[in-house]
A and B are shown apart, each in its own frame.
Chain A
Amino acid sequence: MKKGIFRTSLRTSFIMVAFVLFTTALLALTYDKTHDLITRSEEEEKLALFNEVLPQGISDNDLLRDTVEIAPNDLIGNTSPVTAYRARLGGKPAAVLLEAIAPDGYGGKIVLLIAILANGEISGVRVISHNETPGLGDYIEIAKSQWIKAFDHASLAFMPSNAWHVKKDGGRFDYMTGATITPRAVVKAVHKALEYFARNKETLFAKETK
């Protein structure tokens, strides 16, 4: 009887292990076959987004390979290091693509991609991810409205800091009634990112790609 139990458990665990090995092998094979394609599609997707916010012909370098790490700081709003991408034309700094976080959206963090030209002017902003109320606060998405384009060409030089607010707070940026917290957070984050750029411009372009 005892031997029976021993044999059954051994057989059962052997079958279980066999299935685990088989499915793991299958997964490994699929991963191996699809990995390169996935990386390529992801890079293409990223480049398409970059080209959307950068003016045409502004750079001649490999954007995805010219990067710099930004350590956690209050102006960018990141809690862990984020990667910034640098655009250069003939080796000279042309623009930088920053990923900034607005921590105070209505539904939590709003992640933004901000492209800043070397002269401190914004060339474009896009929302990468957010958790705002659908149909109300989501007009910050380019798919839903053109609101985010209000940042195009804005800069610290031509806009005093009291203009960097929504109109309700005495600033220059439009908002939709009923959803003021969302644009307020985005405007604040873009403003702070510009300040970060103004203070760290030299080091941003100087640092070596890791």
Chain B
Amino acid sequence: MNEYLEIAKNGLWKQNTGLVQLLGMCPLLAVSSSVVNGASLGIATLTVMALSNLSVSLIRNLVPSEIRIPVFILIIASLVTIIQLVMKAYLHSLYLVLGIFIPLIVTNCIVLARTEAFASKQQALPSCFDGAMMGLGLTLVLSVLGGMRELAGKGTLLSGIDLVFGESAKSFALTVIPDYHGFLLAILPPGAFIGLGMLIAMKNHMDARAQSAAEGAAILPQHA
């Protein structure tokens, strides 16, 4: 069980793809203009990562190391295409919102990075879990960044949620600041860079504080 706890910690905090590894910046910067966009792409990426890690781990002993990268890419690209087709057929309204982002998942190097660094060396179940946790870490960063940009840029939260859950969900959208005239910079790409910079700074600050607190605790007893 300990192993899974470690994987979860790595994915969500220590090795967070968005804040620490800084992999997959392209979709992160492009789609994080609102909570709904960010979270939806995050969940789609999570699905692809869990499945690709699982399949790579299952076939890892069949593939000679010389051709492992092309085979992994082949698997990831096929999975993304299959998910895209299935979504287009069965979840058409969701596809209309997310459609253009789905093929972007292939270009997200974090997916390939996790299959190569983790799944190609580990058992199937931990691999699948690692993909899911890494994806969840990315989803959280995307949602928080999307929330920051949406709030600063449009004064709303969760706008467009009706596109995902249907008309009845329209009331979930919050207008946090009424009569807000908008802050365009936050919605445009520079807003993504600035927002991500702030998130990374915040995480580093929290880590530094936690570390100094730990060191302080270790030193204190010696002085006493």
Q: Tell whether, in the assembled complex, residue A27 and residue B82 are in contact, meaning their CB atoms are under 8 Å apart.
A: yes
Whether the Cβ atoms of A38 and B88 lie closer than 8 Å is: yes
Cβ < 8 Å to A, chain B residues 72-110: 74-75, 78, 81-82, 85-86, 88-90, 92, 96
Assess A31 versus B188: contact at CB under 8 Å? Given A12-B67, A135-B153: no
Of A11, A19, A27, which contacts B81 at CB under 8 A?
A: A27
Contact of A134 among B33, B63, B70 (CB under 8 A): B33
Cβ–Cβ contact A34 & B89, under 8 A: yes
Q: Which residues of A contact B85 (CB under 8 A)?
A: 30-31, 34, 38
Are B88 and A20 closer than 8 Å at their CB atoms? Answer: no
Q: Does B215 contact A (CB under 8 A)?
A: no
Interface residues of A in 1-54 (CB under 8 A from B): 8, 11-12, 15-16, 19-20, 23, 26-27, 30-31, 33-34, 37-38, 41, 44-45
What residues on A are CB-neighbors of B88 within 8 Å?
34, 38, 41
Task: Tell me whether B63 and A15 are in contact (CB under 8 A).
Answer: yes
| Residues of A contacting B221 in the complex (Cβ-Cβ under 8 angstroms) | none
Q: Per-position contact with B for A101-129: 1 when CB-CB < 8 Å, else 0?
A: 00000000000000000000000000000
Shortest A8–chain B CB gap in Å is 8
> Of A11, A23, A34, A134, which is within 8 A of B188 by CB?
A134
Given known contacts A11-B64, A135-B182, A16 and B187 CB-to-CB distance under 8 angstroms: no
Among candidates A11, A30, A133, residue contacting B184 with C-beta atoms closer than 8 Å: A133
Checking B67, B75, B86, B154 against A23 with a beta-carbon cut-off of 8 angstroms, the contacting residue is: B75
Contact between chains at B78 and A27 (CB < 8 Å):
yes
A136 close to B (CB within 8 Å): yes
| A15 touching B184, Cβ below 8 Å | no
A-B contact count (CB 8 A): 60
Interface majority SS (helix, strand, loop, mixed), chain A: helix
Tell me the minimal C-beta distance from B141 to chain A in angstroms.
21
Q: Is B62 engaged at the interface, CB distance under 8 Å to the other chain? A: yes
Interface size class of A (residues with CB under 8 A): 20 to 34
* Minimum Cβ distance to chain B for residue A181 (Å): 16
Given A11-B64, A12-B67, A38-B88, do A135 and B78 touch, yes or no (CB 8 Å)? Answer: no
B86–A15 CB distance below 8 A: no
Q: Taking chain B's interface residues, is the majority helix, strand, or loop, or is none over half, making it mixed?
A: helix
**Contacting pair A12 B33 (CB below 8 A):** no
Q: Is B179 an interface residue (CB 8 A)?
A: no
B3 contacts the other chain (Cβ, under 8 Å)? Answer: no
Q: How far is the CA of A93 from the CA of B129 in the complex (A)?
A: 60
Residues in A with CB closer than 8 Å to B64 are 8, 11-12, 15
Known contacts being A15-B62, A15-B64, is A45 close to B96, with CB within 8 Å? yes
Contact present for B187 and A45 (CB under 8 Å): no
- How far is it, in angstroms, between the C-alpha of A11 and the C-alpha of B64 when the chains are bound? 9
Contacts of B154 in A (CB 8 A): 135
Contact residues in B for A41 (Cβ distance below 8 Å): 88-89, 92
Q: Considering only CB atoms, which chain A residue lies closest to B90 in the complex?
A: A37
Which B residues have a C-beta under 8 Å from some C-beta of A?
33, 62-64, 66-67, 70-71, 74-75, 78, 81-82, 85-86, 88-90, 92, 96, 153-154, 182, 184, 187-188
Seen from chain A, the residues whose Cβ lies within 8 Å of a Cβ on chain B are 8, 11-12, 15-16, 19-20, 23, 26-27, 30-31, 33-34, 37-38, 41, 44-45, 133-136
- List 26 interface pairs A-B (beta carbons < 8 Å), by A numbering: A11-B64, A15-B64, A15-B71, A16-B67, A16-B70, A16-B71, A20-B74, A23-B78, A26-B82, A27-B81, A30-B81, A30-B85, A34-B85, A34-B88, A38-B89, A41-B88, A41-B89, A41-B92, A44-B92, A45-B92, A133-B184, A134-B33, A134-B188, A135-B154, A135-B184, A136-B184
